[in-house]
Amino acid sequence: MLLLSLGAFTVVALIGLIMASDVFRKKPTSPIFKVLHVVFVLIGALAAIVAAFSGDTRVWINIVIALVIIGLGALLFAKRSKGEHPKGVVIVHGGLAVTCYLLLAYFTLFNHA
C-alpha cells in the first residue's frame, strides 16, 4: 500500500510543480492538471489510510500533515478561482507536501515497522 501511495504522490508532486509554476508566472492552470492532481491525491491518500488502518502506525503523521496540506490546497483553489496568485500559500502548501512526501518515502523504502 505504501508503494502505491508513494507512486501516486510522485505524480501529484510533478503536477503540483506545473501548477505552482503557473501561479508564479500568473497564468491560469489547465483544468486537466487540477483534476489529475486531485485524483492522484485521493489514490495516494486512500492507500496511506489503508496502510495506517492495517497497522502501520508510522503513516498517521503523514495523514495529519496531509489534512493541513489539503486545507491549503482548498484555499489555493478558492483564491485561484478569484483570479488571485497566492504565492505564499503555494510555498507553504508545497513545503509541507515535500515534508510529507519525504516521510512517506522513508517509511516506504526503509521498512522498519
Q: pLDDT digits over 7-29, tens only?
A: 999 999 999 999 999 999 999 99
pTM (two decimals): 0.92
- With cell 486531485, the residue in question is 38
Kindly state the cell numbers that stand for 22.
503557473
Q: How confident is the model at residue 111 (pLDDT cuts 50, 70, 90)?
A: confident
The residues near 53 (Cβ < 8 Å, ≥ 6 apart) are: none
pLDDT of residue 74: 97
Mean predicted confidence (pLDDT) in 67-93: 97
Average pLDDT, the chain: 96
Share of the chain above pLDDT 90, in %: 97
